[in-house]
Amino acid sequence: MAGFPSEVDVAVIGAGAAGIGAARRLGKVGSVSVLVLEARDRVGGRVHTIEPAGFPCDRGAEWLHSADRNPLSPIAQGLGFSVHRRPPEWTTRLRRSGETVEAEADWIATREAQARARRKAAAEAGDRALASLVEPGGRWNELLDATSSWGNGAELDRVSVKDYVRYEDSGVNWRLREGYGRLFETLAKEQPVALETAVSRVDHRGQVICLETARGTVTAERVIVTVPTSIIAGDVLRFDPPLPEKVVAAGGLPLGVDDKLFISLSGQLPGVERDAYLVGSTTSRETMSYQVRPFDRPAICCFFGGRWAAALEREGEAGMFSFAAGELARLFGNDIRRQIAPLASTAWLHDPWARGSYSYALPGHADDRALLAGPVDDRLFFAGEACSPNFFSTAHGAYMTGVAAAEAALASLALPIEA
Ligand SMILES: Cc1cc2nc3c(=O)[nH]c(=O)nc-3n(C[C@H](O)[C@H](O)[C@H](O)COP(=O)(O)OP(=O)(O)OC[C@H]3O[C@@H](n4cnc5c(N)ncnc54)[C@H](O)[C@@H]3O)c2cc1C
């Protein structure tokens, strides 16, 4: 969008999954004018597909989690995307990582015991960290921490038990052959998005709300804020009058760190079938998860998270590749080094418009999601993955909060919310 209106009914800040969900919902009501203000030069936010070697790689979200309850599953199918239903082999990856099948069964039993302990602890009065439920000296403690850093973006000592158990995982996970990012690009195509238009201030003192943007001032009757918690807690987007309760809630829901390194793979990894998963080490929390030949493509997607990922981001792609090559060489022998080369990598913590990967709640902060999501004066609405009570940290959770915020904004304008 080259030029854009300086006055609209509803302005949406951010064109990620939540912003696109909000815009699509608002767009169904013909009589309401809408503008989406996006800081980047692209839509999608933390969902972004690239093609560094002629096939799609998702830098951010890849999986349609809880796919049987995920509203994006039927939308993707309806748009002709190829939905891949083969379940990921996250539970059986230890047998390809140097462990026996018996050891793998022990690991799975440990995880199930943790899940039970988490549900029990969540029913107690106070909140605590997931780490408090881990048996000291347990055989799998390092791996439990590593898997927490992949799932939550943070190690067990950082994550609230109460929040963790509120996530509704149906256990069904699908993928799009074309890439999740391509779906959001398609969904955003008809939407009024102004790119490279960062919003720095939301002035809600007067009768209309004034947004200070990189391309001038925009006024709106209603505003839907969908930026990551890091942007609110870090005061990158300021409110006037200030909204200290939002800043505190955003601070209780920091973004964890998860990154990906894509490497090319010529030939096969010995004994590893396509689309299989492995872990680099089962005894260190500083290890990567490897998705080998996704969709049978000549690549490996390496995934890593937590404090260590934050440190590895500073070392850049060369440091990430050197680590991954070392882990793969330990598992498959040194010759493997001749089969692999770096293709692309992410650094979500250092991305100025994300500043992290996805939100988790600090112990004692599970209810911050509801505080963050609450509207202000029925004029300012909040959406984004961190606002989701049950699908936080996901693209579909973000999308659903965007739709809900749009419906609340329409209701406040006394406009029909029927689609
Ligand atoms: C490595 C990784 C793997 C992931 N894997 C999965 C997965 O497999 N499945 C899944 O469902 N989810 C996954 N996620 C999480 C998912 O990507 C996010 O939860 C979701 O995309 C967040 O959407 P959002 O709209 O809330 O936020 P964002 O996508 O961050 O959108 C917010 C938008 O606001 C913009 N913005 C920020 N500040 C401003 C400003 N001041 N003015 C204007 N615009 C601004 C940003 O540029 C961005 O486009 C993954 C994320 C990462 C990083």
**To the nearest whole number, what is the mean pLDDT of the chain?**
96
* Contact call for residues 131 and 157 (beta carbons, < 8 A): yes
Q: Give the percent of the chain with pLDDT over 90.
A: 93
pLDDT above 90 for 419: no
User: Ligand 1 centroid to 270 CA: how many Å?
Assistant: 36
Q: Say how far apart CA 56 and CA 37 lie, in whole Å.
A: 27
Tell the residue nearest (CA) to atom 27 of ligand 1. 16
Q: Is residue 90 very low, low, confident or very high in pLDDT (cuts 50, 70, 90)?
A: confident
CB-based contacts of 322, cutoff 8 Å, min separation 6: none
Atom of ligand 1 nearest to the CA of 393: 19
Tell the residue nearest (CA) to atom 36 of ligand 1. 14
pLDDT above 60 for 350: yes
Give the mean pLDDT of 336-356. 98
Calculated CA dihedral for residues 137, 143, 149, 152, nearest 10 degrees: -90
* Contact call for residues 81 and 178 (beta carbons, < 8 A): yes
Q: 241: cis peptide before it, omega within 30°?
A: yes
Say whether pTM exceeds 0.95: yes
Neighbour tally for 113: CB within 10 Å: 13
Give the mean pLDDT of 82-92. 90
46-55: pLDDT as tens digits: 999 999 999 9
Q: Say how far apart CA 156 and CA 307 lie, in whole Å.
A: 11
Atom of ligand 1 nearest to the CA of 303: 1
User: Ligand 1 centroid to 239 CA: how many Å?
Assistant: 21
Q: Pocket around ligand 1: residues whose beta carbon is below 6 Å from it?
A: 13-19, 37-40, 45-47, 60-63, 65, 198-199, 226-228, 231, 236-237, 258, 260, 348, 353-354, 357-358, 384-385, 393-396, 398
| Continuous segment of H or E residues that includes residue 325 | helix 306-332
Which pLDDT does position 334 carry in this prediction? 97
Bridge partners, residue 213, by sequence = 199, 216
Q: Which two tokens stand for residue 99?
A: 């462990």
313-326: pLDDT as tens digits: 999 999 999 999 99
User: Ligand 1 centroid to 273 CA: how many Å?
Assistant: 31
Which residue among 227, 288, 382 is best mutated to probe the pocket of ligand 1, counting the most ligand atoms within 8 A of its Cβ?
Answer: 227
Q: Which two tokens stand for residue 252?
A: 């209780």
Q: Which two tokens stand for residue 345?
A: 């990598």
Q: Say how far apart CA 39 and CA 35 lie, in whole Å.
A: 13
* Contact call for residues 412 and 378 (beta carbons, < 8 A): yes
User: Ligand 1 centroid to 13 CA: how many Å?
Assistant: 13
Which pLDDT does position 4 carry in this prediction? 84
Which pLDDT does position 318 carry in this prediction? 98
Sign for the pseudo-dihedral over CA of 289, 259, 274, 395:
positive
Q: Say how far apart CA 97 and CA 128 lie, in whole Å.
A: 32
Tell the residue nearest (CA) to atom 35 of ligand 1. 14
Report the side by side order of strands in the sheet with 63-64. Answer: 63-64, 174-176, 83-84
Q: Is residue 414 very low, low, confident or very high in pLDDT (cuts 50, 70, 90)?
A: confident
Collapse the DSSP code of 67 into the 3-class scheme (helix H, G, I; strand E, B; otherwise coil) and give the result: coil
Q: Say how far apart CA 169 and CA 351 lie, in whole Å.
A: 28
Tell the residue nearest (CA) to atom 33 of ligand 1. 14
Q: Is residue 138 very low, low, confident or very high in pLDDT (cuts 50, 70, 90)?
A: very high
15-43: pLDDT as tens digits: 999 999 999 999 999 899 999 999 999 99
Residue whose tokens read 């990894």: 269
Q: Say how far apart CA 406 and CA 224 lie, in whole Å.
A: 7
Residue whose tokens read 């972004």: 48
Q: Say how far apart CA 156 and CA 140 lie, in whole Å.
A: 13
User: Ligand 1 centroid to 354 CA: how many Å?
Assistant: 7
Q: Give the percent of the chain with pLDDT over 70.
A: 99
| Continuous segment of H or E residues that includes residue 142 | helix 141-151
| Continuous segment of H or E residues that includes residue 213 | strand 209-213
CB-based contacts of 181, cutoff 8 Å, min separation 6: 44, 47, 48, 49, 50, 56, 58, 59, 60, 61
Residue whose tokens read 């379940």: 87
Atom of ligand 1 nearest to the CA of 21: 25
Q: Residue 197 carries which DSSP code?
A: -
Q: Which two tokens stand for residue 362?
A: 């600090």
Residue whose tokens read 């200290």: 244
